[in-house]
Structure formats: structure tokens, C-alpha cells
Amino acid sequence: MNEIECHDKNCPIHGDIKIRGNKFIGKVVSDKAQKTVIVSIDYTTYVPKYERYLRKRSRIPAHNPECIKAKKGDLVEINEVRKISKTKSFVVTKIIERGLA
Ligand SMILES: [Zn+2]
């Protein structure tokens, strides 16, 4: 791994934000915002009435630290942190797999 200078105070490794709570794995579907990515998470919920699993998808805005730089199409791990902004309370902690594009 090459060292990248990181001045992001909301970075879980170099900043002062602490990881806690839920952890998810999802795919980056948007990297249009400067330091935010939208991560899509697939999950299933059980519906007792029909005794079936329902496939669901949720989109979570997550902070994208300078040293991680997740891009659209990447498979990433996100972790819950304290609220960073009005809509963000997750941070990208690592890239599991780089996207092709
Ligand atoms: Zn960093």
C-alpha cells in the first residue's frame, strides 16, 4: 500500500472519528458529490404473512475519505459513525473490490 497524505478529520484511520454500530457491504452507485458516495445495499427481510423473503435495496450516503477514494462500481465496506452531516452517518472503511470502469 502506498502512503497517501490524508487531512480528512472525518477519516476513520487518520481523522478523529470513531467507528461504531452497524457495518455493511455494498456497491458504490454514485460518486458525483465531492466527499460522499452513495452505496447501494441489497438485503432480504422475512415476511411472515407470505412465509417468503423479500429482496430489498437501500441507498446509503457515506463519507468517502481522501485516502480511500472509492469510485462508482467499487464494492466497499461502510461503517456507521456519528452523524457527519444532515444525511451522512456512514463512512467508507475499505474497498473490497475495485470496479471495472
Ligand atoms: Zn485517511
| Residue 78: Cβ within 10 Å count | 25
What's the 100 CA to ligand 1 centre distance in angstroms? 24
What's the 15 CA to ligand 1 centre distance in angstroms? 7
- Separation of alpha carbons 35 and 72, rounded Å: 13
What's the 64 CA to ligand 1 centre distance in angstroms? 9
Q: What is the largest CA-CA distance in the chain?
A: 53
Hey, where are the domains in the chain? Answer: 23-97
CATH fold of 23-97: OB fold (Dihydrolipoamide Acetyltransferase, E2P) (2.40.50)
- Separation of alpha carbons 17 and 9, rounded Å: 7
- Separation of alpha carbons 79 and 66, rounded Å: 16
Q: For the segment 63-98, what is each residue's pLDDT rounded down to a tens digit?
A: 999 999 999 999 999 999 999 999 999 999 999 999
pLDDT of residue 60: 98
Q: For the segment 11-65, what is each residue's pLDDT rounded down to a tens digit?
A: 999 999 999 999 999 999 999 999 999 999 999 999 999 999 999 999 999 999 9
What's the 10 CA to ligand 1 centre distance in angstroms? 8
pLDDT of residue 100: 79
